[in-house]
Every structure is written in C-alpha cells, then in structure tokens.
Structure 1
C-alpha cells in the first residue's frame, strides 16, 4: 500500500471511530451504569480493573475476535452472515443485544458515505464489531490498526460514561486510557491470531450488571 493509500485509510479510520460519527454510542454504557449503581465500580482504580478485565476476558475480547473474523472474511457473504448471527447470539442480555445491533446498523448507514461493494454483502442485522471489521477490511485498513482504534474508542466511551456517572474525574479518566494502552496492544496481538474457537467470556459480574440494568428505574444510559 502506498503512503497516500495508508494516509487515506487512516483518515477513514479516524472518521469512523470519531465521537462525532453518527452511531449514538454515547447513549450506551454496556452495563457500567449498573456497576456504578451497585458500587461494583466506585472509583478510578475500580474502573481501570473493570475495563482491563473486559479486554482480557469479557465483551471487548469477544468483540475483538468477531472483528478480526469479519475483517478476514469481508468478501464472503455467507461467512459474514454466520459471524453476524453468532455475534448477536453471544449478547448476554437484551440490552447488550440491542446495543450492538443498533450500533452495527448505525455504523453501516454512516459508513456508506464511502462507497464499497461490501455493503451489498453485509446482512441486515449485524453486531457492531462485525460491521466495523468488515468495512475496515474492505477499505484496506490494516486489521491491527482498525482493531486498536475500535477498542480504544470503546474504552474511551466507557471512561466518558464513568465520568458522567461520577465514578472518576476527567484527569483520572485520561490516566486510565494511558495506563491501559498495553492491555489494548496485547489484546490486538492475540485477537489478530484468533479464530472463532477463541470466543468466550469469564466476566459473570459484568453480565449480571448488564441484566440488572434492564430493570433499573432511573438511568442515564440505554444499556
């Protein structure tokens, strides 16, 4: 890939992962709101541990595996259908299912500003990581760069949610993002070599928080 093509790919990646991209990601917390409500996460230290655990063993890890599979199989319509169905089936709660499905659909709608044949191959219903992975692959964005940006955007959104929930301050939130960089890099490296056999989580408390958020009376976020 030429220097010009690399720069173009970077620009597209930055646009897709920008907070201004019209997917409404600011409306979701992935169960974090309930974790703060139940005092499972009470401060910056707890938030850092929560996010690192999700990266290694939770929803971020599954997202990374699905992302890489979609990136590799972006030219295979049947494979994309299968990985999309699997990704939706892995959602641990109704709200997590709604979150990833809504973000996936919104991402595809926005990303069509950059024409590509991949949109004709994508299923109508697909989870967010499958949507981003397939589109990034079709546009020639390196999988490591694309996945790193995807994970960083997800972590940034979680930190932003935590700030609004009062679990940490802005300076602490930035420090968490700086401190978790190596975890992101390690996850990217492992996920790039993964297969669908590597899917799986061990974050029971996070799943419980997501389930309990569905019945929370007063809340700021949709998940």
Structure 2
C-alpha cells in the first residue's frame, strides 16, 4: 500500500536536509584553510597523539560554546523576533572579544562567505542587510552570527543551530588533524562521536547568558594563537 506524505512532513524533511547541507564540512566557506589553533598545538607539543587531540578538541568546543555559541544564540533569537539591531549587537560583541588577528580573520572571512553563499541559494532579508553592512564596514561579519541568521532563515530551532555550530567547530579541527598528524578517519570520527556527548551540557550552560557574559579563560589557546602568528612554516591561516 502506498503511504501518503503530508505537506507538513515533507516540509520537515526538507528542513532537515537543508540543515544537514549547512553542517557539511565541504560547505564552501573557507573552513579548510583554518585549524583553530591545532597547527601550533602540534608544533609546540601540546597535541602529540590521539588522546591529546581529543583534549584539545574538547577545549576548543567548550570555548566555542561560551563565546561564539552565545553570539549565535542571540543572533538566531534576533532574527526570530524581527530585530536586526540584535544581529548587529551580537556581531559587535563577539568581535570585541576575539583575541588575535588570525582569529578575527577566520571568523570574518567565513562569515562573509556564508552570507554570500546563503544569498546565492535562497532569499533572506536579514542576510541581505547584514552582507550589505559587512561590505560597507558597518559590521565585522562574524561567522557564528551569520550561522544564527542563516539557520533561523532555514527554520532551525536555536537548539539545532547550536548543535550545528558546535559540530562545525569540532569538525574543522579534526579535518585539520588528518592533514597535520598521524591519525586516521576512524580516530577522528571516534573523537567527534564522543565530543558530542557534551552538547546538552554546553547548551544548558550558555542558553541564558547575555552578550556581556561572553568570556573564556583559556590561556593555552591564546598562547597558541600568538605563536601561530609568528611562525614561519605553516599550512593553515590559523
């Protein structure tokens, strides 16, 4: 017997498919060019094997939740409330707290590319205005804020947007690890699977935080960012 599919179910399946598309590591926003500090971590011996790689990814994901993740949630909520000024506030707040020229370069390059990609495949009033303001130097264009805008436009809940953001952070580092050290896809997929156990914990930790609450104490990561800026031999932009 042929089963009927309701319009609501079809819309839900379409939404899931599009969310998967925007969580894909092959999304052309330039993430392949960045290691999120891993390159320097390997060069300095902070990361040297699979266990230390997992510890590093855990640190980066935790930091991402408490900085970028908060900005993403506020940008997503601003779109859902029709509050464009809220998007700009999240963008500026995150930019002011980013440490290091390379980190700023990473989030703004990827942010602009995400905005351009989104507008090539769909319409978004908020994204159009945001990209115009980026080009006019009225706002920095941070990638997590762009994710919040794009995913709200695609019908993602804020929890789903947060998950995709955190997944993307871990995936970026692990993809770089495959090119920088002796690990294979089984190792990186195992780490990715285990790291996602902390998603509920991280979301609960930040969901009520204000933009002023964005802060992370991770001196090792800050030192690695500074180290990479001065190194002469490198594969990644950060």
TM bin, normalised by shorter chain, reads over 0.9
SS at match of 1:22: coil
Residue deviations 1:28-57 (CA, integer Å, cap 9, x gap): 01111001100011111111111212333x
Q: Structure 1 CA distance, aligned partners of 2:50 and 2:213?
A: 30
Deviating more after overlay: 2-11 vs 150-159? 2-11
Residues 59 and 97 (structure 1), Cα distance of their counterparts in 2 relative to 1, 3 Å cut: same
Counterpart of 2:32 in structure 1 is 26
Counterpart of 1:90 in structure 2 is 97
Counterpart of 2:117 in structure 1 is 110
Give structure 1 regions of 4+ aligned residues with deviation exceeding 6 angstroms. none
Q: Structure 2 CA distance, aligned partners of 1:114 and 1:82?
A: 24
Q: Structure 2 CA distance, aligned partners of 1:167 and 1:90?
A: 33
Residue deviations 1:3-30 (CA, integer Å, cap 9, x gap): 3332222122111222222101111011
**1:60: how far off?**
4.2
Q: Structure 2 CA distance, aligned partners of 1:196 and 1:80?
A: 11
Q: Within 5 Å, give how 1:188-207 maps onto structure 2.
A: 188-207=203-222
Counterpart of 1:221 in structure 2 is 236
| Partners of 1:41 and 1:167 within 8 A in 2 | no
SS at match of 1:132: helix
Residue deviations 1:146-170 (CA, integer Å, cap 9, x gap): 2112211220110111121115332
Deviating more after overlay: 101-110 vs 148-157? 148-157
TM-score normalized by the length of structure 1 = 0.93
Q: Within 5 Å, give how 1:113-192 maps onto structure 2.
A: 113-122=121-130, 123-124=133-134, 125-166=140-181, 168-192=183-207
53, 63, 67: which one aligns with 2:68? 63
Query: Once superposed, what is the RMSD of the aligned Cα atoms?
Result: 1.7
**1:121: how far off?**
3.4
Computing the radius of gyration from Cα coordinates, the structure with the larger value is 2
Counterpart of 1:7 in structure 2 is 13
Query: How many residues were matched structurally?
Result: 222
TM-score normalized by the length of structure 2 = 0.87
Q: Structure 2 CA distance, aligned partners of 1:9 and 1:198?
A: 31
Residue deviations 1:174-220 (CA, integer Å, cap 9, x gap): 11111112112321333333322331101110011011101111111
Counterpart of 2:3 in structure 1 is none
Q: Structure 2 CA distance, aligned partners of 1:62 and 1:162?
A: 23
| Partners of 2:64 and 2:166 within 8 A in 1 | no
SS at match of 1:180: helix
SS at match of 1:2: helix
Q: Structure 2 CA distance, aligned partners of 1:47 and 1:60?
A: 18
- Return 5+ residue gaps in structure 1 as ranges: none
